[in-house]
Amino acid sequence: MSARTHFSRDYAEARGKFLDRARSLRARVASYGNDRARGPAGEALSTDTAWLGPDDASRVLVTVSATHGAEGFCGAGVQSGSLDPAFAGELPADTALLAIHAINPYGFAWVQRVTEENVDLNRNFVTHEQALPRNDGYVELAEALCPAEWSEVARRRARDRLAEYGRRHGAALLQQAITGGQYTHADGIFYGGAAPTWARRTALRIAREHLASARKIAIIDYHTGLGPYGHGEKIIVHPPASAGLARARDWYGDAITSTALGTSKSADVVGDLLGGLEAALPGTEFTGMALEFGVRPFDETIDAVRADNWLHHHGALDSAQGRAIKAQMRATFYGDADDWKASIFEQAMDAQRRALAGLAG
């Protein structure tokens, strides 16, 4: 079967494909409806899970799609392809697969990275009752990053401002300022939120209901938007010198990268989903990885995110400009071409098999 058959045009098709394949394997399916929002056609939104393997398995491979909603085309395609009799037959004894489909269904359906609260879910797993992390670089650049108008003049002015910051501080600190996460501008990009989102609460509920008795857990969170076209970067967020980082290196090889050690193309973020789930599952041997696939160059990716933010706060979705921005977002986070799909599916399945071998070891 060609890899392209696993991927979908939109959230609704992806959800239907996932549920159909899960039920064909007699997987245990659960759905978590989001009653706070609807899709662009008024459709209901839901995070769905599929469990393959023994109900009481002590070792569980978890896959997650659409942490950043628009990136869900990739992860959902991998998950649907994984719901295959051949792969199910590869599960070792005492091992289960838990696929969490569209943890941010709103962002997937609307082709946005953010949740219905305009929150970056991968910056939301912080303790909101305490002082929130500071990002002075973002505060300095906020007006340039999210201008009130999306004209060529405003964009050129913003590019000059960002370039000037990069000359003063360097490219790495510019990226950290933009993407590291911020908690001051609720209408901005990479906003971590003032409270736990519905998606965060749902992720933690799924962990409680499905993973509380697991002894060993491997999680692969599928992302797109960084790196060369079709290349999968294995990003580990475990601290330096930790057992989790050592396990990840043993399982996935020296090709892994670390945000904490500065070897990743990603900024070192706070409040990420992997860290949040690990904290919620104390006592388990937890090995997490974000598998990030490249689509477009970094500058184009940031411009698409900025344009989409402007559109939802200031623009008109049902306009020529709105439709063009949405098409740009989809193309930025989804390599809708056969070579891209084949490449990422092969790399993703290799990672899942390595995780299963690591859990068995």
Domain residue extents for the chain: 3-128+196-299+330-360
The beta strand positions in 11-163, using DSSP E, are: 28-34, 45-52, 59-64, 95-101
Share of the chain above pLDDT 90, in %: 95
**pLDDT at position 349, please?**
98
**pLDDT at position 268, please?**
83
Using an 8 Å Cβ cutoff, are 59 and 359 in contact?
Answer: yes
Q: What is the pLDDT of residues 163-173, one digit of tens each?
A: 999 999 999 99
**pLDDT at position 196, please?**
98
Q: What is the pLDDT of residues 20-42, one digit of tens each?
A: 999 999 999 999 999 999 999 99
Using an 8 Å Cβ cutoff, are 47 and 103 in contact?
Answer: yes
Span 269-278, average pLDDT: 95
Q: What is the pLDDT of residues 184-235, one digit of tens each?
A: 999 999 999 999 999 999 999 999 999 999 999 999 999 999 999 999 999 9
**Which residue in 115, 114, 112, 64 sits closest to 330, CA to CA?**
112
Using the CB atoms, write b or e for 268-293: b if 16+ within 10 Å.
bbbbbbbbbbbebbeebbbbbbbbbb
pLDDT at residue 61 is higher than 80: yes
Is the pTM value of this prediction over 0.85? yes
pLDDT at residue 92 is higher than 90: yes
Give the span between the Cα atoms of 128 and 262, in whole angstroms.
Answer: 26
> Where residue 259 falls among pLDDT bands split at 50, 70, 90?
confident
**pLDDT at position 1, please?**
65
pLDDT at residue 248 is higher than 90: yes
Class at the top of the CATH hierarchy for domain 3-128+196-299+330-360: alpha beta
**pLDDT at position 124, please?**
98
**pLDDT at position 318, please?**
96
Q: What is the pLDDT of residues 102-123, one digit of tens each?
A: 999 999 999 999 999 999 999 9
Using an 8 Å Cβ cutoff, are 71 and 232 in contact?
Answer: no
